[in-house]
Amino acid sequence: MSITKHEIRPGAYYDSVVLMQLQRALVALDGVEDAGVVMSTPTNLALLSESGLLPAEARLAKPDDLIIVVRAESEAAASAAISQVDDLLARRRSTQSEFQPRSLESAAKTLPRARWALVSVPGRHAAGVARNALDLNLHVFLYSDNVSLEDEVELKKTAGARGLLVMGPDCGTAVINGIGLGFANRTRRGSIGLVGASGTGLQAVSAAVHNLGGGISHAIGTGTRDLTGEVGAITALQGLELLARDDETEVIVLVSKPPEAQVAARLLAAAQNAGKPIVVDFIGYPPPARTLGNISFATNLSEAAEIALKLSNQEPRAIEYEPPQYATPDTHHATRTTQFADRNSQSTNRDPQFANQYVRGLFSGGTLAYETMLGLQACLAPLYSNVPIHETQRLPDPTQSRAHTIVDMGADEFTVGRLHPMIDNETRLRRLRQEAEDPEVGLILLDVVLGEGAHPDPAAELAPAIAAIKEDQEIEVMVILIGTEEDPQDSARQAEQLESAGARIYRGPMEAVAEINRRFARSVAGPPAPVSLEVLREPLAAINVGLDSFYESLKSQGAEAVQVAWKPPAGGDEKLMAILSKMKGNYSSGSESDAD
Amino acid sequence: MSITKHEIRPGAYYDSVVLMQLQRALVALDGVEDAGVVMSTPTNLALLSESGLLPAEARLAKPDDLIIVVRAESEAAASAAISQVDDLLARRRSTQSEFQPRSLESAAKTLPRARWALVSVPGRHAAGVARNALDLNLHVFLYSDNVSLEDEVELKKTAGARGLLVMGPDCGTAVINGIGLGFANRTRRGSIGLVGASGTGLQAVSAAVHNLGGGISHAIGTGTRDLTGEVGAITALQGLELLARDDETEVIVLVSKPPEAQVAARLLAAAQNAGKPIVVDFIGYPPPARTLGNISFATNLSEAAEIALKLSNQEPRAIEYEPPQYATPDTHHATRTTQFADRNSQSTNRDPQFANQYVRGLFSGGTLAYETMLGLQACLAPLYSNVPIHETQRLPDPTQSRAHTIVDMGADEFTVGRLHPMIDNETRLRRLRQEAEDPEVGLILLDVVLGEGAHPDPAAELAPAIAAIKEDQEIEVMVILIGTEEDPQDSARQAEQLESAGARIYRGPMEAVAEINRRFARSVAGPPAPVSLEVLREPLAAINVGLDSFYESLKSQGAEAVQVAWKPPAGGDEKLMAILSKMKGNYSSGSESDAD
């Protein structure tokens, strides 16, 4: 018989990482079956209710009240758990020995050198805090989402007029003068500057630059909505202009999903005026050419990094680009020569024949999922996703895969009331097992994003799950690993754990995509009856029915031709034609009238 | 006082080129003011009525009746004109001395070597004629449009099962064994094979290949609907497979607008299995990478030709591609080194400053217009067209330009009841004058497509019109000239005439686009208040409001940071917060509730 106990602490705000840690600590206690520790937002209360953990009194709680619920085997165990809450919180608090000012104003007095405010309070409070920061003449890294578009426009206009940056809202990643803000890979310093509306896009490019031997000057995030017509790329334009003046930055990489048309025109014009080589990866944007003045268009994130690297330490001009090696029938792996690709290639002859089975991609990085969609749609169909390129690819229920599916598990529908999958692997581990149980699945594709802000050791949780799957099923697992050996998690160590579990490691979405597309292409059949080559080998001879000029053209080119003195059947009488047609039995009923 | 006379000839079928020639001959007669010579389709009758040329009796005419109307200054002149109709028609007929069989069957007996039927009869008759041809075991080049989708699918399935090709309906261009069908440029024979759903796209690539020194093996047109899901690329897949087996073909270029997702996947898989290098230009399709196995993705038609040329005479593998030279501030012209670009570059210092004026493009080639849109949208906004890339760019009334506009004058709305602008310049000449009268217009862009089937001397009509415009206005005129020196019109002679009239000549849409984009980029302003470079130069110091983990991350990276012991204002009480906010006067009313 289970006993449920709870406690509500009005106005006791803690951030979601702290709450997750408390919840896990409570569940780990003796006799505790389940626990919930959440701020009392309507969504969180609904989630508690689903788990059978919602006490009746909680319905009166306010969004900023903390609610702690414990279900245990006994009254004693439940009470013991609740009584340890303060100890557990204090244990965490004790790591923060410094004085904590209670307001931005007093924080600014404490650290007068501060030029930045990092804001990650709940969205409904975030615009106010950001405005407060701008009033203190601080640049703002605004991680919070759920900030209104009106607030974003107003904040950015205010900031723009004062020469201040507002990176975000919903900005996941930035690197300023070597320091990562939010989620960011540790990279060496260098000459490549980034501006990006895409968090994992910035991470993928900066990690790739580092892994290719280059370095990052600064990475300026803009937030996902910056490139909409409403916001007009205020932050992206500021960022471009700032990096254009920065001596340390030799090449600028601009990465985002395709902006609205007017915004794209504005940005590309500004890029042409930057006086430095610019690499543009508007993921899924069809470029007019490989280069446009000083702009080089990249087709994917890995390539953006490669082009940038080749352009650095050069004159500001477009690159003479050598495309990467591609897979031939003899060398199966399209991955670049990295430490991982070399290891993979040893298993070439053991490729499972998964061509008639489905691919399921479970992503934590939205941009990584989107770029994967972009690549796989070239060869896999039908293909579904909650981040579709075309609306026809939209997955009706993101919790249920169908055919080939790529899921961004960092999307709102998965993270409401939960931590992001880059921090918390739980939801993804559950989905991983769900996909593995589907007999139609032949390949599972995961991303693992390392760096500041991310889970401290994702492989420790993912590798055992992968090993368990591979023990039971003939399923291949590919992992796109975004990270550097300088990251707190150490990418080499992560890769080793994942490979030991049987996963193949790729350094970017397109490396994995190339491998998948190559294999699927093999399974496609040709046309039913091949056309005889004689048609191409014999001198052309033709009968012309219709325009005299075509007949004359054939003759003038030296071809044999006959012109038919064609007249409409039945003198063009449509009724009579229809009767004749029925009598002959070979005239289509679907013909349309012609206006010509 | 004008007199109108007419004659109706029931069931007297003539093709539209013949009728245009008769009409022009009548108008040229002494005393004739206007004339109409059309088949009596409803659309043509409506057009006659608009011109005040519709006799009352014509309303009873059937679509295949010929109607001839003449308006003259006198009864005598009108009668004289009508009486000359047979002579004028006979004069044309006399050029065709050969025997003309009256049916496909007898034509096939006359020319038993014929493997091809060219079908260009009115659309409502075309499917029947094509079916007839397939029954005679002929491959079909089906130029006619207005053939139903059902008929197309049925024809192609029938043909596919028999190893026959149906190129079309609405197929403008093919080259088989050195002979151009429909509209086709004359090129030298060579090792590059083409498959394309786009008529002017095939022309642009084949002309560019020739002009770069290469040659064409065969060019297989598919018709514009072949790559839809309904048709499933039957002809394109046949063509790919056929050229893959053809020894003469070393490289295959596949050109079309982006196919539907499933069709793209099928085609790209087939391309990967072709065993030869393939260059894909799905105009406006975002490629997953520069290469995918043996596939090289081109970003535009000119580039497709360049890549193909570099790949020919090589192993079947992806190219190590060098992008073309781009414009630097010192060398203004992005055009390739052609005879024309060299001449243009001499006028570099006289670039009109048209940056604040509008560009108007008047195209005869649909694909050329579309590719131009694709290129210009990178820098010009707002940009409108009747062949928009995005629906927001759709021109509400194709007869009226607004802002920057690209018009495909070969689109249905311009050609109903009229000849295509590649054959008949009249509509384009009128629009050219209309645009030139608009004081907001700074640049007019035209295409001129040469080759078999096209107007015998377009420059003779366009050059005087361009000269007249440039005499009166400060308007620049650019011409995209698609042709070879082997074309009946001789591209060098055409270019010379157009240049003498003051036009700049470009060899492909993207060459002109690059020049336009480069100039417009100069006019774009930077952000209002530049961000001070100090923010990038000083060691980062930040105030963190929100997630503790961000603070810890900053510290671990060695940055100075202060954590604010933030609590929701008013303990999270939303009503109280709103009151406080109003009192302080600086809290946004637009903030949303947060579910996190």
pLDDT of B595 higher than 60: no
pLDDT of B218 higher than 60: yes
Closest C-alpha to A142, from A251, A234, A63:
A234
CB contact under 8 A, B416 and A596: yes
Closest C-alpha to A82, from A51, A55, A49:
A55
- Out of A246, A319, A531, the one facing B163 most closely (by C-beta) is A531
What pLDDT was estimated at residue A545? 94
CB contact under 8 A, B527 and A591: no
Across B241-370, where does the E strand assignment appear? 251-256, 278-282, 291-292, 295-297, 358-363
Query: Is-cis flag, bond preceding B277, omega within 30?
Result: no
pLDDT of A522 higher than 80: no
Cβ-in-10-Å burial (0-12, 13-18, 19+) of B16 comes to buried
> Residues of B with CB below 8 A from A186's CB?
557
What pLDDT was estimated at residue A55? 85
**pLDDT tens sequence across A347-394:** 333 344 444 689 999 999 999 999 999 999 988 989 999 999 989 999
Same fold, A104-311 and A339-521: yes
Q: What ipTM did this prediction achieve? A: 0.82
Q: Amino acid letter at A134? A: L
CB contact under 8 A, B517 and A287: no
Comparing A74-88, A370-384, B411-425, the range with the smallest average pLDDT is B411-425
**pLDDT tens sequence across A138-180:** 999 999 988 999 999 999 999 999 999 999 999 999 999 999 9
- Angle among Cα A487, A488, A493 to the nearest 5 degrees reads 80
Q: What is the mean pLDDT of residues B222-229?
A: 95
Comparing A51-60, B215-224, B424-433, the range with the smallest average pLDDT is A51-60
CB contact under 8 A, B147 and A564: no
> Residues of B with CB below 8 A from A404's CB?
none
> Residues of B with CB below 8 A from A164's CB?
531
CB contact under 8 A, A556 and B286: no
Evaluate whether A540 touches A375 at the Cβ level (below 8 Å): no
> Residues of A with CB below 8 A from B111's CB?
541, 543, 560-562
CB contact under 8 A, B163 and A532: yes
Comparing A94-103, A321-330, A503-512, the range with the smallest average pLDDT is A321-330
> What DSSP designation does B348 have?
G
Residue of A nearest to B182 (CA): A550
pLDDT of A587 higher than 60: no
CA distance between the termini of chain B: 83
Across A295-402, where does the E strand assignment appear? 295-297, 358-363, 383-385
**Best to test chain B binding among A562, A580, A586 (most B CBs inside 10 Å):** A562
Residue A501 Cα, gap to closest chain B Cα (Å): 29
Evaluate whether B244 touches B193 at the Cβ level (below 8 Å): no
Residue of A nearest to B10 (CA): A571
Residue of B nearest to A549 (CA): B453
What pLDDT was estimated at residue B573? 60
CB contact under 8 A, A17 and B548: yes
Q: Report the SS3 class of residue A489.
A: coil
Evaluate whether A248 touches A231 at the Cβ level (below 8 Å): no
Q: Report the SS3 class of residue A459.
A: helix
Token digits of residue A103? 């307001």
Q: What is the mean pLDDT of residues A33-43?
A: 85
CB contact under 8 A, B41 and A595: yes
Q: What is the mean pLDDT of chain B?
A: 86
Residue B182 Cα, gap to closest chain A Cα (Å): 6
CATH class of the region A339-521: alpha beta
CB contact under 8 A, B568 and A120: no
- Out of B273, B488, B546, the one facing A524 most closely (by C-beta) is B273
User: Whole-angstrom Cα distance, residue B35 to residue B3?
Assistant: 11
- Out of B64, B556, B590, the one facing A572 most closely (by C-beta) is B64
pLDDT of B522 higher than 80: no
Residue B199 Cα, gap to closest chain A Cα (Å): 15
pLDDT of A575 higher than 70: no
Residue of B nearest to A316 (CA): B328
Closest C-alpha to B118, from B167, B184, B185, B186:
B167
Token digits of residue B196? 């394309």
**Best to test chain A binding among B39, B94, B110, B118 (most A CBs inside 10 Å):** B118
Q: Report the SS3 class of residue B268.
A: helix
CB contact under 8 A, B114 and A161: no
CB contact under 8 A, B545 and A104: yes
- Out of A103, A287, A527, the one facing B237 most closely (by C-beta) is A527
Evaluate whether A235 touches B531 at the Cβ level (below 8 Å): no
User: Whole-angstrom Cα distance, residue A347 to residue B193?
Assistant: 37
Q: What is the mean pLDDT of residues A424-453?
A: 94
Closest C-alpha to B587, from B596, A140, B575, B595:
B575
CB contact under 8 A, A123 and B541: no
User: Whole-angstrom Cα distance, residue A28 to residue A34?
Assistant: 9
- Out of A299, A522, A545, the one facing B119 most closely (by C-beta) is A545
CB contact under 8 A, B593 and A124: yes
Q: Report the SS3 class of residue A443.
A: strand
Residue B467 Cα, gap to closest chain A Cα (Å): 30
CB contact under 8 A, A567 and B517: no
Closest C-alpha to A560, from B395, B185, B190, B178:
B178
> Residues of A with CB below 8 A from B527's CB?
160, 234, 237-238, 241
Region of A571 on the Ramachandran plot (φ > 0 left; ψ -120 to 50 alpha; else beta)? left
CB contact under 8 A, A289 and B323: yes
Token digits of residue B576? 């109280």
Q: Can you list the pairs that B262-265 forms with residues at least 24 positions away whose Cβ atoms lie under 8 Å?
A: B262/A381, B262/A382, B262/B229, B263/B227, B263/B228, B263/B229, B263/B232, B263/B233, B264/A377, B264/A378, B264/A381, B264/B227, B265/A377, B265/A378, B265/A379, B265/A380, B265/A381, B265/A383
Token digits of residue A485? 């050996």
CA distance between the termini of chain A: 84
| C-alpha atoms less than 13 angstroms from C-alpha of B385 in its C-beta half-sphere | 30
- Out of B63, B114, B535, the one facing A139 most closely (by C-beta) is B535
Rg over CA atoms, chain A? 30
**pLDDT tens sequence across A107-126:** 999 999 999 999 999 888 99
Comparing A567-581, B138-152, B157-171, the range with the smallest average pLDDT is A567-581
Domain boundaries, chain B: 3-93, 104-311, 339-521, 538-584
CATH class of the region B3-93: alpha beta
Residue of B nearest to A116 (CA): B542
Which whole-number Å values give the CA distances from A375 to A259, A285, A305, in the listed order? 19, 13, 17
Closest C-alpha to A414, from A455, A363, A372:
A363
Helix A458-472 × helix A426-436 angle, to 10°: 10
CB contact under 8 A, A591 and B289: no
Evaluate whether B114 touches B138 at the Cβ level (below 8 Å): yes
Evaluate whether B223 touches B232 at the Cβ level (below 8 Å): no
Residue A1 Cα, gap to closest chain B Cα (Å): 32
**Best to test chain A binding among B515, B543, B548 (most A CBs inside 10 Å):** B543
CB contact under 8 A, A107 and B528: no
pLDDT band at B417, cuts 50/70/90? low
Token digits of residue A587? 């005239």
What pLDDT was estimated at residue A58? 81
Other CB atoms within 10 Å distance of the CB of residue B181 = 29
Q: Report the SS3 class of residue A480.
A: strand
Pick the CATH number of B104-311 from 3.40.50.80, 3.30.413.10, 3.40.50.261, 3.30.450.20: 3.40.50.261
What pLDDT was estimated at residue B497? 97
**pLDDT tens sequence across B265-302:** 999 999 999 999 999 999 999 998 899 989 999 999 99
Token digits of residue A140? 């703002």
Residue of B nearest to A111 (CA): B562
Q: Amino acid letter at A28? A: A
For A68-98, letters b (16+ CB in 10 Å) and e give bbbbbeeeebbebbbebbeebbeebeeeeee
Token digits of residue B377? 């949208």
Comparing A306-315, B72-81, B493-502, the range with the smallest average pLDDT is A306-315
CB contact under 8 A, A120 and B547: yes
User: Whole-angstrom Cα distance, residue A275 to residue B522?
Assistant: 12
pLDDT of B353 higher than 80: no
Other CB atoms within 10 Å distance of the CB of residue A500 = 12
Other CB atoms within 10 Å distance of the CB of residue B329 = 10
User: Whole-angstrom Cα distance, residue B89 to residue A27?
Assistant: 96
Closest C-alpha to B153, from B239, B260, B231:
B231
Token digits of residue A419? 């931590």
- Out of B113, B186, B241, the one facing A526 most closely (by C-beta) is B241
Evaluate whether A196 touches A174 at the Cβ level (below 8 Å): no
CB contact under 8 A, B377 and A165: no
Evaluate whether A363 touches A431 at the Cβ level (below 8 Å): no
